[in-house]
Chains A and B, each alone.
Chain A
Amino acid sequence: MVVTSRDEVTGKLVDVDHGLISREVFVSGDIYQQEQEQVFARAWLFIGHEAQIPKPGDYFVSSMGEESVILCRDRESEVHAFLNSCMHRGMKVCRYDEGNTPVFTCPYHGWSFATDGKLVGVPYFKDAYHQELDKSKWGLIEVPQMYNYKGGIWATWDKSAPPFLDYIGGFKLYLDLLMDSWDGSDSGTEVFGGVEKWLVPSNWKFPAENFIGDRYHNISHRSVDMVGIGPSGTGRRDTNERAGSRLLDVSFPERGHGTVMALRPGDAAIPNAYQDLPILAEYFRHCEEEKKRKDAQLWRLLGGPGTVFPNMSYLPRQPRSIAVWHPRGVNQTEVWRWFLVDTKAPQEVKDYLRHYYIRYSGPGGLTEQDDMENWNYAHSASRGVIARRYAYNYEMGLGYGTPNYENDGLKLPGLILDSTEAKAAEQNQRGFYRRWAEFMDAEDWGILANWRNGSGHE
């Protein structure tokens, strides 16, 4: 399956108007290869958190698409992201996961690069190169654009990509539910030490579309809901905090981002939630009161799972974390998961949440292991020559969203589908794949920045 010309993907492999998406999108090696170029080399990608590299010389080896990158802080405390590949013969200049160093010395022939990327050491510079090598031209390749958004570090390889805030657009309101403190103050979150990393035998888009809003798969988490691991001792989450809320599916089809969240009624009172521990319940109540006092309308928003196109997904509350779905071949995804917490939360609350995060998430987590099973076998059962003849169905709730959503005096941005009674919809997935198809077809950001001419409907 080779895709060659423009408009080959939109409408043919991805027909969101009819809710049909070809399995080739998930299992074709050619499409995967094109995706590296068209999607991962152009989009903004999440690469880490500033709390991971607090001091000069600190580094964390991250990944953008398939490629290894070094996120580091130089001697002047400037943050950089470099391609982790030596300019001489391509060796990984840094083979570690993290650490602190004055220079990165290539293990192959020993070129060394400072933490600002400059080539500072070349063995036999006098004898073998006769001092003729122009070191200023052979520093590490640096990402052309990087942005620190409330501690989260994002980067893109495309210098013509719009600035990060323009890329996020109106979705910022929802992303802030992850990045701001629970009491509503701007930023103020940190990450726990330790990034979970593990491999899943499925295409990266399975998890990305699951997190963008798959309320439909609740059934697969029934066992963990029954035993109860949530912060009030029941369910996999504590649903008391959203009692009486409308459930909203929010999509930005012109950008590809989406989330499923809850909206409390205009006259809602602060609920009793997070009851497992008195200090936790108290911290929750304190944050809710503060947030409500700051802005009673915005207090009504309760964030849920979301995906920032293409491969950063998050859970803003239970358990609060960021996942990146790194493509590792068409049939494999490397998952990285960071866990966030309010910097100013009391130590006991941090400890409680850390334990909750661990029992929920990761390959050993009671909830996340259910998802692995689904993505693994959905992918492998879609690879065969017979299976790939048949498109997947994404019809659920087609056409039921509105771009002018309003509830009790609160207007919300995005294409919004109220799924309270319907219980589930696939609007957000359609938005994601509409955008994915545009990336696959479009030649440049001039076409991709289509929101500038008012696109944004399903």
Chain B
Amino acid sequence: MASSDQAIARLLLKDEVERFLFAEAELLDDRQYEEWLALLDDDIRYWMPMRRNVKFGELEREFTREGQDINWFDEGKDTLMRR
């Protein structure tokens, strides 16, 4: 019984996450940037590493490293607000 409760809880959570993402997309489509920004936590971190094509066995080189290398994005709420 417990496991089916967990399954239902997971489904509900998935539904909540989906609805949040749709609402977010809606705000952006409507250019409601202030409202969209208000959804973000103050300590949000927006980070996207760069990817390299590397040899099998050298996978540690596949992505540029956090806090050390150049990345496509590495921003917090302050920079996101300026955008």
| A355 to B75 Cα, complex, angstroms | 8
B6 within 8 A of A: no
- Contact of A99 with B50 at beta-carbon distance under 8 Å, contacts A227-B82, A228-B82, A359-B75 already known: no
Q: Can you offer 20 A-B residue contacts whose CB atoms are under 8 A?
A: A95-B53, A96-B53, A96-B54, A96-B55, A97-B53, A97-B54, A99-B55, A100-B58, A192-B69, A193-B68, A194-B71, A195-B70, A196-B50, A196-B70, A227-B82, A228-B82, A351-B67, A358-B74, A359-B79, A366-B83
- Least Cβ distance of B69 to chain A in Å? 4
The answer to whether B69 and A194 have CB atoms under 8 Å apart is yes
Interface size range on A against B: 20 to 34
CB neighbours (8 Å) of A366 from chain B are 82-83
Q: Is A354 an interface residue (CB 8 A)?
A: yes
Instruction: Enumerate A153-200 residues with CB–CB distance to B below 8 Å.
Output: 192-197
Tally of contact residues, B, Cβ under 8 A = 22
Q: Are A229 and B70 in contact (CB under 8 A)?
A: no
Output the least CB separation between A208 and chain B (Å): 22
Interface centre among B52, B58, B67, B73 (most CB of A within 10 A): B52
List chain B residues, Cβ under 8 A from A194. Answer: 50, 64, 69-71
What residues make up the interface of A, taking CB atoms closer than 8 Å to B? 95-101, 192-197, 227-229, 339, 351, 354-355, 357-359, 362-364, 366
Say yes or no for B20: interface residue by CB 8 A criterion: no
Prevailing SS type, chain B contact patch: loop
Q: How far is the CB of A301 from chain B (nearest CB, A)?
A: 27
CB contacts (< 8 Å) of B10 on chain A: these are: none
> Which residue of B has the minimal Cβ distance to A226?
B82
Q: Which residues of A contact B67 (CB under 8 A)?
A: 351
Indicate which residue in B55, B65, B73 contacts A193 across the interface (CB closer than 8 Å). Answer: B65
| CB-based contact B52/A97 at 8 Å | yes
- Tell whether, in the assembled complex, residue B73 and residue A358 are in contact, meaning their CB atoms are under 8 Å apart: yes
Query: Given the complex of chains A and B, what is the CA–CA distance between A70 and B14 in angstroms?
Result: 47
Measured CB to CB, the closest approach of chain A to B57, in angstroms, equals 9
Q: Give 8 nearest A-B pairs by CB, closest first.
A: A194-B70, A193-B69, A194-B64, A227-B82, A194-B69, A97-B52, A97-B53, A192-B70
Q: If the complex has contacts A193-B70, A339-B70, A364-B73, are A98 and B61 also in contact, measured as CB distance less than 8 A?
A: yes
Contacts A194-B69, A227-B82 given; 6 further ones with Cβ under 8 A?
Answer: A96-B55, A196-B70, A227-B83, A362-B72, A364-B72, A366-B83
Q: By the criterion CB–CB under 8 Å, are A229 and B79 in contact?
A: yes
Give the CA-CA distance A227 to B78 in the complex, in Å.
11
Q: List the B side residues contacting A355 at CB < 8 Å.
A: 74
Q: Which residues of A contact B75 (CB under 8 A)?
A: 358-359
The distance in angstroms between the C-alpha atoms of A412 and B38, with both chains bound, is 53
A357-B70, A359-B75 known; A99-B61 Cβ under 8 A: yes
Query: In whole angstroms, how far apart are the Cα atoms of A364 and B50 in the complex?
Result: 12
Residues of A within 8 A of B61 (CB): 98-99
26-49 of chain B: CB within 8 A of chain A? 48
The interface residues of chain B lying within 8 Å CB-to-CB of A339 are: 70
In the bound assembly, the distance between CA atoms of A101 and B56 in angstroms comes to: 12
A196 to B53, CA, bound (A): 13
Minimum CB distance partner of B46 in chain A? A364
Enumerate chain A residues within 8 angstroms of B54, measured Cβ to Cβ: 96-99
In angstroms, Cα B61 to Cα A310, docked, is 31
The verdict on A354 contacting B82 (CB below 8 Å), with A96-B55, A97-B52, A99-B61 known, is: no
Find chain B residues with CB under 8 A from A228 CB: 82
Interface string of B15-27 (1 = CB under 8 A from A): 0000000000000
